[in-house]
Structure 1
Amino acid sequence: MSLRIVTWNVNSVRLRAEQVARFVAEQAPDVLCLQEIKCLPDQFPEAAFRDMGLPHLKVAGQKGWHGVAIASRHPIAEAPDLAACREGHARCVSGVIQGVEIQNFYIPAGGDIPDRVLNPKFDHKLDFYARLTRQFAARDPRAPLLVAGDLNIAPGENDVWNHRYMSKIVSHTPIEVEAMRALQASLAFADVVRDAHPEDQKLASWWSYRAADFRQSNRGLRLDHLWTSPGLTPAVVPGSARIHEDVRAWERPSDHAPVALDLAV
């Protein structure tokens, strides 16, 4: 069978429930990994997701900020809670669906100053990466594991609109890229979306609200990722990994676009 998995920073699940329903109707995902749901678990719009055909939920929320969730057509079994956030924010949620362990993260953005001493938010971001790196390094790479989420780093030169400029801006600084590369190497994860496209092709999943026309300004960043462990990578359906850029152009959109892949499981 095929399992379509999507990661999407929805920037308030209650505010964007209609957009989510439209996307689900058009693209028929089996699993949605959501970030920035911005609500407590008992405020999550469960009825709307049942109506979408995604009745199985794992929600980690907090009032007005952060928050992550997994919504699925199939039952969700328990998976390890990696608890990588030292501040206790709702930034991690996990589950096993059709034999695949899914770890869904909303990693801190890191503030504006790329300095661990001057900026505690930036230190928190790098600490989050270090904690995940240590935990994944101890895992069995043969196990089917998918990492999804808004990881808030655009790693490659063509994952940002301007490499030279963005190298000094939080989300693409050398120390962040190094932290992401270390996390990827910890379990030899495949960066499925980038691997499906030529290295010199510009890719983005986030565009600022400040631009009236995000396509015309074309200042995007690839912050949203789907990674597979060596034990899962062979199950990725060739040609299935894509960024749904068109969703960013919908009315009252999130500033992030959904990112999808299909697995043959």
Structure 2
Amino acid sequence: MPQTLSIASWNINSVRARIDIVERFLTEEAPDILCLQETKVVNETFPTDMFRRMGYVHQVLNGQRMHHGVAIMSKVPIHEDDRFDWQANGEARHVGIRLDNGVRIENVYVPAGGDVPDRAINPKFGQKLDFLERMIQWSSELEDKPTILTGDFNIAPMECDVWSHKQLLNVVSHTAIECELLGRLQDSNNWVDIGRKFFPAPQRLYTWWSYRARDWAESDRGRRLDHMWMTQDVADKAIGHRVVEPARSWTKPSDHIPIVTEFAF
């Protein structure tokens, strides 16, 4: 009998500030593995005890004070501990592990890229583009390794991945150059976008809503910034995918919601 395994990804926007909703999510959804981005805490002060109490005894942390930070919390054994510096400046934006079945999980937090989509006047945008180029190089050399690539990609690539394609064409996260780069990344290893496998375009599928909206649900100006991709051999084992949209209304919410994929390995 195949064993089921669920993997969640969530940009939590400070794990310590939102520890209560993390615990709620783990209680209600109980994924086997949780990939977190933007933890905003050094490893020494990461709230590891709550996760252990909830059964997530296998933990890999890559933290950074007040900024960035990624972590993988797991109920099942995990091995190895890769940290790629795709930002090329030491920022904590990646951590990778391997499961007992040989599948790798790569958890990434792609830079947001600032507000102006012009690298000449906004260095942060240039850093984002360069980050993606380094990811493309890595991805193209993976060969036949069964892999899940997940996290906050900070790009909504399809017209239906944003509330208004026309109004966001020149807004960072949906510009043509970002979408083209993400397409190149996907093509570099024939990644399967599992969200769109289970919710084919043009179905609504958002994972982020700005804090600026007075009522995020009423205005529904969402974007699909969070993704879970996988190699075809892993995608063939996926039996479900969902976004946990109610989490956007929980107390002190992140502006992102969790995404969850279930597998039968």
Task: Answer whether TM exceeds 0.5 for this pair.
Answer: yes
Deviation of residue 80 (structure 1)?
4.3
TM-score w.r.t. length of structure 2: 0.96
| 1:186–1:80 CA distance, 2 compared to 1 (3 A) | farther
Further displaced range: 167-176 or 85-94: 85-94
Unpaired runs of 5+ in structure 1? none
Partner of 1:63: 65
Letter in 2 for 1:137: S
**Contact 1:82 / 1:132 at 8 angstroms: preserved in 2?**
no
Partner of 2:114: 111
Partner of 1:133: 136
Letter in 2 for 1:262: E
Deviation of residue 81 (structure 1)?
3.5
Partner of 1:251: 251
Matches within 5 A, 1:229-244: 229-237=231-239, 240-244=240-244
Residues paired across the two proteins, number: 262
Cα deviation digits, residues 172-211 of structure 1 (max 9, x gap) = 0000000100011111000001121131112110001111
Deviation of residue 79 (structure 1)?
5.0
Matches within 5 A, 1:1-265: 1-78=3-80, 80-99=82-101, 100-140=103-143, 142-237=144-239, 240-265=240-265
Percent identical = 45
TM-score w.r.t. length of structure 1: 0.96
Q: Distance in 1 between matches of 2:152 and 2:173?
A: 11
Unpaired runs of 5+ in structure 2? none
Further displaced range: 13-22 or 165-174: 13-22
Letter in 2 for 1:60: N
SS of 2:183's partner is: helix
Deviation of residue 230 (structure 1)?
1.9
Extract structure 1 runs of 4+ deviating beyond 6 A.
Answer: none
Letter in 1 for 2:70: V
